[in-house]
Amino acid sequence: MLDAMGQPLLKVDNLQSWYGESHVLHGVGIEVGEGEVVTLLGRNGAGKTTTLRSIMGLVGKRSGSVKFEGKELIGARSDLIARAGIALCPEERGIFASLNVTENLMLPPVVRPGGLDLDTIYALFPNLKERANSPGTKLSGGEQQMLAIARILRTGAKLLMLDEPTEGLAPVIVQQIGRTIREIKARGFTVLLVEQNFRFAQTVADRHYVMEHGKVVDMMSSAELQTSTGRLHQYLGV
């Protein structure tokens, strides 16, 4: 999962972030190899969303290092970070109510080659194809989540950061999202996933980082996670 130079696709070192005066991340370190699916687990308020937002350059102030394909992005603006090939699918999904499914899909700009075309996306998401002309307001929560994921596959981003894509969805839809993530991985995309549901995370991810109080406190593979549920319960308080 390392490139020819022995570097992971994303390497985050000693990442610190602030919202105004509030110091939220205290030195996060994570690595994500090309083609990997990696999760951030942790309790509410641990700093998972802030980690994704900080990688994307969407916090007030950040320091440390965020290297993508070996290139330092810590000082870069969020639009340049997007153009480098990182995309964020936020928890609130951001589907435009007044636009239909196809219009929502076509909205984010293509930032680099390698994205999927509309036909390929509709082949991957038959539910969305059926609803191509439906406005955003008429979609179920699951359909909106699928659309939010589908939308960034077009842009050419290599690293997809998904913030709690299964939140609030019925188990059968959660399974669909799981299949989608495995399919995305099979197509060579790299995924950094925030999840509260570690049983789900285990079915889609290669490795897991555990966050507490704005820091990474542990890392385990999915295989280790099976034998470490006691340790994980302590971290997550579940």
Ligand X SMILES: Nc1ncnc2c1ncn2[C@@H]1O[C@H](COP(=O)(O)OP(=O)(O)OP(=O)(O)O)[C@@H](O)[C@H]1O
Contact residues: Mg ion, CB under 5 A:
49
Specify the residue for token string 């030195």.
Answer: 27
- 168: which residues sit within 8 A by CB, 6+ positions away? 141
Residues 15, 46, 181, 205: which binds ligand X (CB under 6 A)?
Answer: 46
State in angstroms the smallest separation of the CB of 100 from Mg ion. 29
Q: What is the DSSP string of 8-67?
A: -SEEEEEEEEEETTEEEEEEEEEEE-TT-EEEEEE-TTSSHHHHHHHHTT-SSEEEEEEE
State in angstroms the smallest separation of the CB of 15 from ligand X. 12
166 forms part of the interface with ligand X (CB under 6 A): no
Q: State the residue number with the nearest CB to Mg ion.
A: 49
Instruction: Kindly list the distances between the CA atom of residue 64 and the CA atoms of 9, 11, 230, in Å, as whole numbers in the listed order.
Output: 17, 11, 32
Q: Number of residues in contact with ligand X, rule: CB under 6 A?
A: 12
Residues 4, 5, 6, 22: which binds ligand X (CB under 6 A)?
Answer: 22
175 binds, among ligand X, Mg ion, none (CB under 5 to 8 A by kind): none
42 forms part of the interface with ligand X (CB under 6 A): yes
48 forms part of the interface with ligand X (CB under 6 A): yes
Question: Which of these ranges, 16-24, 64-72, 79-87, 171-179, lies near ligand X under the rule CB under 6 A?
Answer: 16-24
8 forms part of the interface with ligand X (CB under 6 A): no
State in angstroms the smallest separation of the CB of 28 from Mg ion. 14
Instruction: Kindly list the distances between the CA atom of residue 19 and the CA atoms of 50, 125, 172, in Å, as whole numbers in the listed order.
Output: 9, 37, 37
Amino acid at 107: L
Best CA proximity match to 235, nearest among 23, 220, 222: 220
Specify the residue for token string 């290297």.
Answer: 67
Enumerate binding residues for ligand X (CB under 6 A): 19, 22, 24, 42, 44-50, 196
